[in-house]
Amino acid sequence: MGPLTGFKVIEMAGIGPAPFCAMLLSDMGAEVVRIDRKSAADLGVDMPARYNVSGRGRRSVALDLKSPDAVAAVRKLAAQADALIEGFRPGVMERLGLGPEELLTVNPKLVYGRVTGWGQTGPLAKAAGHDLNYIALTGMLHAIGPAERPVPPLNLVGDFGGGAMYLAFGVVCALLEASRSGKGQVVDAAMVDGAASLGAPVYGMYGAGLWKDQRADNLLDSGAPWYDVYQTKDGKFVSVGAIEQRFYDLLLKTLGLEDDKYRDRGHDNWPVLREAFNSAFRSRTRDEWCAIMEGTDICFAPVMSLAEAPSHEHMAARGVFVEQDGVVQPAPAPRFSRTREAIQSPPPEPGQHTEEVLRDWGFTEQEIEALRG
């Protein structure tokens, strides 16, 4: 029984941050019903449903939203829901007759969560885009990568960090407020807002003159030699984050770099340190360095591949990854001492639970038959 058990959420099927947000809410115990089109959303890949990990934990209802009866069915579902989340461009839900004004009329306590790239307002609000474009506008993409060029950080900063996480946070905040006020509201989660918010510490350091507006020349962007990734003798990689002086001293001692010239951490000495660190780490394999450094206060970890990560001793001991229906995937997070998070079910096929959900949510057999027709 997760901490969100008892809350009912409607997810309008799409791609990107909204499905990931729905997974987070479901993992915490919410009952999530996904409203699918007749065919699966265009993910750009042909992938069986069971591999759609971010689609886990909810039931699917397939409706033709061009039909007035189907739109009326969504309104009836929304009248019983605590929250609805959608990730369309501004105006799409309104054109369907399912915008906030319509749904808050039938359910004044509904939390209406909207996630987009540019936001619901602003000059670019209705323009197309993807994760990479949104984080480009925030300064965050500029700050990530080697000196020569920015590097796309998967979809972690925009779609999932700046979008889904902020949508989930916003929805839960609004649910808490609605429990006191009895009133719902709209949550406008924009990836440009969220990604910029994630960069708050960097902007703070930049304002204080402690961060240069160029890549690979700062404390946390691979500029500082003691906070970077190094290749080992076998071509694999290890990570080192020895920021604090006592951790740095231990790193030098373990690498055998105890000459006084390595104690100078000034910017002008970074090339000397980097050359020494590169040479030292290439002298042993990744596993050999793990045997020496892992578990110490150096702030060290091997760089694990996707295939390797689930079987690492620490990850396995904590159960960070689980296997469901033959698919290895991250377990729900975070963890709770009393209300247990859990994967509720495998990802559904579109429309797999249409009639089941409608019955559970109070539709009569006559209403279901009319929709079937």
- 294/39: higher pLDDT: 294
Co-location of 150 and 245 in the same domain: no
What's the pLDDT score for residue 45?
A: 55
pTM for this model (two decimals): 0.95
Q: Which of 82, 159, 188, 193 is catalytic?
A: 159
Co-location of 152 and 278 in the same domain: no
% of the chain beyond a pLDDT of 70: 98
Q: What would the pLDDT profile of 68-111 be if each residue is shown by its tens digit?
A: 999 999 999 999 999 999 999 999 999 999 999 999 999 999 99
Evaluate whether residue 215 is within a structural domain: no
What's the pLDDT score for residue 1?
A: 87
Co-location of 72 and 159 in the same domain: yes
Distance CA 166, CA 175 (A): 14
Evaluate whether residue 27 is within a structural domain: yes
Co-location of 252 and 191 in the same domain: no
Co-location of 160 and 251 in the same domain: no
Choose one of 282, 308, 334: the last residue of a domain.
308
**47 confidence band (pLDDT: 50, 70, 90):** confident
Question: Is the confidence at residue 295, as pLDDT, over 60?
Answer: yes
Question: Is the confidence at residue 43, as pLDDT, over 60?
Answer: no
Evaluate whether residue 205 is within a structural domain: no
Q: What would the pLDDT profile of 308-318 be if each residue is shown by its tens digit?
A: 999 999 999 99
Instruction: Compute how many other C-beta atoms are within 10 angstroms of the C-beta atom of residue 11.
Output: 26
Rounded mean pLDDT, 230-250: 98
Co-location of 237 and 193 in the same domain: no
Q: What is the CATH number of the domain that holds 82?
A: 3.40.50.10540
Q: What would the pLDDT profile of 145-168 be if each residue is shown by its tens digit?
A: 999 999 999 999 999 999 999 999
Range of the domain at 246: 227-308
Residue 130 annotated in active site = yes
Mean pLDDT of the chain: 96
